[in-house]
Chains A and B, each alone.
Chain A
Amino acid sequence: MILSLIRRHLTVYLRDRWAVFFSFLSVFIILALFMVFLRSMVMNWYSDALDQSLAEIMINHWVLSGVLMVATVTVPLGFLGIMVQDRETKAINDFYVAPVNRGHIVISYLLSALIIGVVLGILNLAVGQVYMLLVYGDLLPVWDWLRLLGLIVISTALFSSVFFYVVTLLKTSNSHGTLSTLIGTLIGFLAGIYVVIGGLPSFTQTLLSLLPTMHMASAFRLIYMDNALIQMAEHGMNVEAFSLNMGVRLEFFGLSPGLWALIAMALVWTAVFVALSLMRVRKMKR
């Protein structure tokens, strides 16, 4: 039964081309800004320390990992507009009068958000890799692919559960649209892409470092840039300073969480929001 609901939700979402487009709008904006100035700006910072080809790979890996993370935020949020719309138009009543468990109906939206986030995340990863292969002849090792895949699942689960909880509080598509615009606008900052985290005042750095968006951005960069960082170290670069400046590693309250610590925090956040969501679902039963 849940599968039928998921199939319906995903078909409805994918048929609405504009909804899909807007789910990726932040990604497109980041890529556009990257091409217009971000790329050359960061390249200039490190042009003395790195040779051109390594700098190119480094900056591309940095932005592609950011783009991967951003899509795990915006795609579930965009998709969940379907749930808000179904409740606003009362189309959901059509499911409620069928012999389907109400909890299953509500949970089907959460699972659909996770599925579409992961599928489009994989597509996002593949497109980035094809670009890197065609332009730079650079491809990540299979192990990194698998690790990124796992992280896409974790990050999508985290933001699906956060936004699932949030949208259960929304009543209209209008409010969902406003929220999507807000998140879409802020996400480039919340993930340290529009402005690298090292360029911000220290209080802001600490504040941003506490957010799950920054944790996940760091986690994606740690994997995506793993090889590039090793090569950069071999070229005698101060990788530690670079990592902190570019948000590959975070530092707050004297801590600098590694990949596993970031994943553990993501899982805790996911568990908290799934629990909160289930409490909401229970309340939503009639």
Chain B
Amino acid sequence: MKSIEVNNLVKSYGDVRAVRGISFAVEEGAFFALLGPNGAGKSTTVEILATLLAKDEGTVSIMGETLDRDDAKIRRHLGVVFQYGTLDNDLTVRENLAARGAFYGLSGQALQTRIAELDKLIDFTSYLDRRIRTLSGGQRRKAEIARALLHQPRVLMLDEPTTGLDPKSRKDIWALVLSIKKDTAMTILLTTHYMEEVLDADHVVILHEGVIRAEDSAENLRLAYARDTLKIMPKQGLLKKLDQDGVAYERINATVHVPLKNPFEGVDLVGRHREAIESFEIVKASMDDVFLNITGASLEEGTS
């Protein structure tokens, strides 16, 4: 079953066409990533899916419910972590969870039991009774995730959950996301502009200027759109041999770069010309390369 189905979604803000007719589907229980720079249309898409923003055109269904018709039912299925903090700074984590739990009929013992369950996943006992204002960025984000998971949603939307965090907190939040993926049957929809974050996703959609440019698993995208590179420190005569073999290469400073269809091609090449090679390494193509090759733009260069 598909947990999210989006068909020909369009959204404009005045003259700015933020989302230009995108379609995608997410399998139930999948870890799905929308990758793109700022301004690609990721947050607009999430806000539409989260029933916050009216779409201009297209159809959306979440857990079989139709957006605009069954919004209340859709909201029961959704847990959303926004890229901006939404918890109340002057309330403790527990008070915030109690306030939000009430929307889903969670209170009293049932709420405390659920908080204890979440603690096993999130490990937030030490700051559960501290005010949000006093927490670190990573702790706040964990509290936001706890809030989104409170009512055991079927779909968890994470809108750039690690943006603005220090490297240690990013690592912690990412470990938490992966354990949610491992320990629950939840569908996870992630938006990010960090290429390394999509490597763990089952399916990646590359969004650029409101249009889907490519989609597949991270590995397939890498195979299709970017090549691993064999970097060689050559000895005398290597270039001649490569020319004789008809191998395409590029000289960058003292090294020779050979684009590869796959890593074994590199191993074969090194084996054939071992005596003319000082040293070598095979550099895996990154998702940034994939993005660059698909869109002609870097993930860091997006307009916000």
Residue B78 at the A interface, CB < 8 A?
yes
Q: Size class of B's contact patch?
A: 20 to 34
Q: Which residue of A lies closest to B153 (CB)?
A: A97
Q: With both chains docked as a complex, state the minimum distance between the C-beta of B80 and any C-beta of chain A, in angstroms.
A: 5
- Assembly CA distance A12 to B131 (angstroms): 12
Interface of chain A residues 56 through 98 with chain B (CB within 8 A): 89-91, 93-98
Residue of B nearest to A98 (CB): B103
Cβ of B20 < 8 Å from any Cβ of A?
A: no
A235 an interface residue at 8 Å Cβ cutoff?
Answer: no
Q: Render A94-127 as a binary contact track against B, CB cut-off 8 A, 1 for contact.
A: 1111111100000000000000000000000000
Interface string of B283-295 (1 = CB under 8 A from A): 0000000000000
Known contacts: A93-B86, A97-B75, A98-B100. The answer to whether A15 contacts B91 by CB under 8 A is: yes
Inter-chain CA distance A101–B72, complex, in Å, is: 8
- Asked if residues A90 and B82 are in contact (CB atoms below 8 Å), the reply is yes
| B54 partner residues in chain A, CB cutoff 8 A | 286
**Beta-carbon contact of A99 and B76 below 8 Å:** yes
- CB nearest neighbor in A for B83: A90
A97 and B52 alpha carbons, distance in the complex (Å):
7
Cβ-based interface call for B174 (8 A): no
A174 to B111, CA, bound (A): 36
Q: Tell me the bound Cα distance from A101 to B50 in angstroms.
A: 14
Instruction: Determine if B24 is an interface residue (Cβ-Cβ < 8 Å).
Output: no
CB atoms of B103 and A96 under 8 A apart: no
Chain B contacts for A91, CB-based, 8 A: 85-88
Q: Say if the beta carbon of A234 comes within 8 Å of chain B.
A: no
Q: Is there contact, CB below 8 Å, between B52 and A96?
A: yes
Q: Does A53 contact B (CB under 8 A)?
A: no
| Docked-complex contact A4 and B99, CB < 8 angstroms | yes
Kindly state whether residue A16 has any CB partner on chain B within 8 Å.
Answer: yes
CB within 8 Å of A: which B254-276 residues: none
Residues of A contacting B90 with CB < 8 Å? Answer: 12, 15-16
**B240-253 interface code vs A (CB 8 A; 1 in, 0 out):** 00000000000000
Contact with A along B77-111 (1 / 0, CB 8 A): 01010101111101100010001101110000000
Query: A1-B102, A99-B103 given as contacts; is B147 within 8 A of A94 (CB)?
Result: yes
Bound complex: CA A4 to CA B101 (Å) = 9
Residues of A within 8 A of B84 (CB): 89-90
Q: Is A8 an interface residue (CB 8 A)?
A: yes
Which of A1, A94, A286 touches B86 (beta carbons < 8 Å)?
A94
Closest chain B CB from A83 CB (angstroms): 13
Q: Given the complex of chains A and B, what is the CA–CA distance between A15 and B72 in angstroms? A: 31
Residues of B within 8 A of A1 (CB): 102-103
Q: Which residues of the other chain, B, contact A90 by a CB distance below 8 angstroms?
A: 82, 84, 86
CA distance A15 to B87 in the complex (A): 14
- Number of A positions contacting B (CB below 8 A): 21
Whether A7 lies near B99 (C-beta < 8 A) is yes
Specify the chain B residue showing the minimal Cβ separation from A1: B103
Whether, in the assembled complex, B51 has its beta carbon less than 8 Å from a beta carbon of chain A, the answer is yes
Please report the C-alpha to C-alpha distance between residue A24 and residue B82 in the assembled complex, in whole angstroms. Answer: 35
**A15 contacts across to B, CB distance below 8 A:** 90-91
- The reply to whether A97 and B100 form a contact with Cβ atoms under 8 Å apart is no
Asked whether B103 lies within 8 Å of A286 as measured between CB atoms, the reply is: no
How far is A20 from B73 in the complex, measured between Cα atoms in Å? Answer: 38
A86 nearest CB across to chain B (Å): 9
Chain B: which residue is nearest A7 at the CB level?
B99
Q: Which chain A positions have C-beta within 8 A of B88? A: 8, 12, 91
B4 to chain A, nearest CB (A): 15
Contacting pair A94 B72 (CB below 8 A) = no
Question: Chain B residues with Cβ under 8 A from A96's Cβ?
Answer: 51-52
A96 to B52 Cα, complex, angstroms: 7
Task: Name the residue among B75, B78, B95, B103 with the largest chain A CB count within 10 angstroms.
Answer: B103
Question: Is A178 positioned at the interface, with any CB of B under 8 Å from its CB?
Answer: no
Decide yes or no whether B175 CB sits under 8 A from chain A: no
CB neighbours of B100 from chain A (8 A) = 94, 98
> Which of B47, B78, B82, B103 has a CB less than 8 Å from the CB of A95?
B103
Give Cα A1–Cα B106 distance, bound, in whole angstroms: 11
Residues of B within 8 A of A99 (CB): 72-73, 75-76, 103-104
Q: Least Cβ distance of A242 to chain B in Å?
A: 47
B256 to chain A, nearest CB (A): 52
In angstroms, how far is the closest chain B Cβ from the Cβ of A219? 36
Most buried by B among A15, A90, A97, A286: A97
In the complex, whether B53 has a CB less than 8 A from a CB of chain A is yes
**Chain A 268-285, CB within 8 Å of chain B: the 1/0 string?**
000000000000000000
- Residues of A at the B interface (CB closer than 8 Å) are 1, 4, 7-8, 11-12, 15-16, 89-91, 93-101, 286
